[in-house]
Amino acid sequence: YDITGQLAGISAPTLVVNGDEDEACLEPGLLLKRTIPMAGLAVVPNSGHALNLEEPELFNDFIRTLIGAAEAGTWPTRDPRSLSASMGIANPGTA
């Protein structure tokens, strides 16, 4: 949480993948999604920390999607309108 300024400077396509039963990583995953401009977040139901072992095909599909979109230049940047003022995040699209 102390390096959000540095995280906000990451310009690479990023995918954060969490299992919904990995309680310790859910909030940090949301922080990464909210902070890194090109971050996506996938939360997999009924899975834990070792997602690549628990759901290998699904995990590999996520990685293929990320790499394919990154190579094609189609991985989106976060729409600033999605930022919530209630989270303490400034929304440049509102007055």
The answer to whether position 32 is within a domain reads yes
* pLDDT tens digits along 1-35: 899 999 999 999 999 999 999 999 999 999 999 99
The number of folded domains in the chain is: 1
The answer to whether position 65 is within a domain reads yes
Contact 59, 2 (CB under 8 A): no
pLDDT value for 95:
36
CATH number at residue 51: 3.40.50.1820
Q: For residues 11 and 6, what is the distance between their CA atoms, to the nearest angstrom? A: 11
Contacts of 5 (CB under 8 A, 6+ apart): none
- Indicate the pLDDT class of residue 69, thresholds 50, 70 and 90: very high
In the predicted structure, residue 90 carries a pLDDT above the cut 70 = no
Q: Which domain holds residue 8?
A: 4-76
Q: For residues 14 and 21, what is the distance between their CA atoms, to the nearest angstrom? A: 21
The answer to whether position 94 is within a domain reads no
* pLDDT tens digits along 45-65: 999 999 999 999 999 999 999
pLDDT value for 85:
59
94 phi/psi in degrees, rounded to 5: -120, 160
Q: Name the nearest CA neighbour of 36 among 70, 1, 6, 62.
A: 6
pLDDT value for 65:
97
Q: Name the nearest CA neighbour of 38 among 10, 66, 73, 3.
A: 10
The answer to whether position 89 is within a domain reads no
Contact 42, 16 (CB under 8 A): yes
User: Which has more confidence, 13 or 94?
Assistant: 13
In the predicted structure, residue 84 carries a pLDDT above the cut 80 = no
